A and B are shown apart, each in its own frame.
Chain A
Amino acid sequence: MKRAGFTTRWLPILLLLPQLLIIFVFFYWPAGHALHSSFFLQDPFGFGSTFVGLDNYRDLAGNKEYMRIARFTLLFTLLVTFFSLAFALLLAVKADNVLRGAKTYRTLLMWVYAIAPPVAGFIGLIMFDQSWGPLTRFLQSIGWDFTLGVNFRDTATAMVIVSVWKQVPVNFIFFLSGLQSIPRSVREAAMIDNRSAAGRFWDVTFPLLAPTGFFLLITNITYSLFETFGTIDVLVKGEPGNNPMTLVYKVYVDGFRGNDLGGSSAQSVVLMVLVLALTIFQFRLVERRIHYT
């Protein structure tokens, strides 16, 4: 609040009301409902539910398939996050280096941000088409008999590649703006103190980029967990079958298609706890960044 805020009483309440109303109806109610129904076993025909305590959670922990999906999600998240960040950092550093065409490169490298994940998945389908997909052909030419949608590992590879392709631009934008906000004087001081460009990068630039990096780390983990849903759904053509899937996809499959509301709610709550932990971690970082400036 500003020091000299207005003292009118009714106006701020009126201003807050629409937002509060919407979040109560569409946030707190459903979130509470998910928590609540995670302790119940729903009758498959919708005739009622029985309180089962933590059974839904115990079922999850004991469910081999769920644990397998959790492990895959972890691996998927690690790969997507790592490659998106590394590739974006490399490109941002180079785009920050060059004098000619910096603006053009920026445009060329960031526009994919605006592509929806499922559309990215569609483009993946084209690129990895079984009979004539350019990437399939390329992989075949180096002796990898790539079969999207059939081979588990191949499908997973395509998911990672498409997800990285979609995520590099946003990381690139943040890294580049982080690099450009490093004061000129700091760079010049580093030029005088250190002859080697690589040395300057690791000693000065990289630590100054660390806040951006931490922020992006969380963003990318969240992206890998949630936003890739569309990419995956289209890549497997809506037929999960034996294909790899992530935890969010599993919630959708169990709850929306399988009608196991209790189990699906328990899965939702597990995800909520996961996101909660990540976001709180991130908030602390954002707070600290605000104090810098």
Chain B
Amino acid sequence: MAQVKLDAVRKVYPNGYQAVVPTSFQIEDGEFVVLVGPSGCGKSTLLRMIAGLEDITEGTLSIGGHAVNDVDPADRDIAMVFQNYALYPHMTVRKNIGYGLKNRKVPAAEIEAKVQEAAKMLNLTEYLDRKPSQLSGGQRQRVAMGRAVVRDPKLFLFDEPLSNLDAKLRNQMRIEIKALQRRLGVTSVYVTHDQVEAMTMADRIIVLNEGKIEQIGTPSEIYHNPASTFVASFMGAPPMNLIRAQIEDGQVKINGGTELMAVPAGWDSGEITLGVRPEDAVLDHSGAVPFEISIVEELGAHRLLHGEMAGQPFTVHVSKEVDIQPGQTRLTLNPSTLSLFDAESGKTL
């Protein structure tokens, strides 16, 4: 079990490209942390630096209190699950799972016992003598997990482990991985671009963009109090509505006058961006804000109403009981649910 600590860790590639700006954060013992962000945001680079597969340009990385910058991946006591699983195609499941132990000179009997135990935990017992090519996607995923689990590492690293699975299997494996991690209590770092995975699995989420941390927080904090328009639009499906608004006379106004909420005294007047989660906008015939519905998207458990508010695209999430047709209606926006961002920097106000 171990803490992971990054102190001003930076990555610059030999061609001069800065993949990660100096970044610091700490992962607590037994914590499940998800690094999330769009492709090219530096999340994989961060993970690979923790694994030791990528050199650290500057800064210090410590695992369990020891600086490991110059420690070989094999000696960091970590296990990693790869996006394409990276199973050895010519080895049986048994050999795949046991290979790391064999290289560590563990006695054969002990390897076999550990492999059996891991296989049992992952329902792989009957597949131990098959080759990876004879397994389904979900089973391969499990073998990759088995390879990680069997070594009893200090730290699990996951590099988009579910993105090669179909949607149904993905949901199932998400729960299994989370349950396994809970049971074993191993510190885990999980990289994904899928915000649903991040929300459902993480103890804490780190949102990255262009090599910088945008926000660190629990899923709830990230969702309800996004630190920037980037986080607001990246987390949540459908994303948070972001519309232009103004602060005038201590009030947030849209549509050239409709007053939504008061702001603390002393805020400057000017342009801002207003964030509204689709489920926080309430349909209300006597509401203050006009909303023009153009498309009703039926999703079974709920409906999404796409349309325009104040001349800008806007989406409202309603329960399946609300039966409504395209056309003109009105909304009420509860001030406590609104997020305000600086129009220029996108940072929360």
Contacts and interface: CB of A to CB of B under 8 A. Distances in A.
Q: Do chains A and B touch in the complex (CB under 8 A)?
A: yes
Interface of A: 3-4
A9 to B, nearest CB: 14
A6 to B, nearest CB: 10
B47 to A, nearest CB: 12
Interface in B48-80: 48, 53-54
A3 B48 CA distance: 11
A277 B16 CA distance: 35
Contacts of B54: 3-4
Interface string B22-61: 0000000000000000000000000010000110000000
A17 to B, nearest CB: 25
A3 B52 CA distance: 12
Contacts of A3: 53-54
Q: Would you call the interface of chain A mostly helix, strand, loop, or mixed?
A: loop
Q: Would you call the interface of chain B mostly helix, strand, loop, or mixed?
A: loop
Interface in B95-148: none
B15 to A, nearest CB: 13
Nearest to B13: A3
5 contacts: A3-B53, A3-B54, A4-B48, A4-B53, A4-B54
Contacts of A4: 48, 53-54
B66 to A, nearest CB: 20
B19 to A, nearest CB: 12
A4 B53 CA distance: 6
A59 B53 CA distance: 61
A3 B19 CA distance: 14
Contacts of B53: 3-4
A4 to B, nearest CB: 4
- Shortest beta-carbon contacts, A-B, top 4: A4-B53, A4-B54, A3-B54, A3-B53
Nearest to B52: A4
B173 to A, nearest CB: 26
B12 to A, nearest CB: 15
A3 B44 CA distance: 13
A4 B73 CA distance: 11
A168 B48 CA distance: 51
B335 to A, nearest CB: 50
A186 B211 CA distance: 41
A3 B14 CA distance: 11
B114 to A, nearest CB: 26
Contacts of B48: 4
B338 to A, nearest CB: 44
Interface in B228-257: none
A4 B49 CA distance: 11
B268 to A, nearest CB: 48
Nearest to B51: A4
A180 to B, nearest CB: 22
Nearest to A4: B53
A3 B53 CA distance: 8
A4 B48 CA distance: 9
B54 to A, nearest CB: 7
A100 to B, nearest CB: 31
A168 B53 CA distance: 49
A1 to B, nearest CB: 11
Interface in B155-194: none
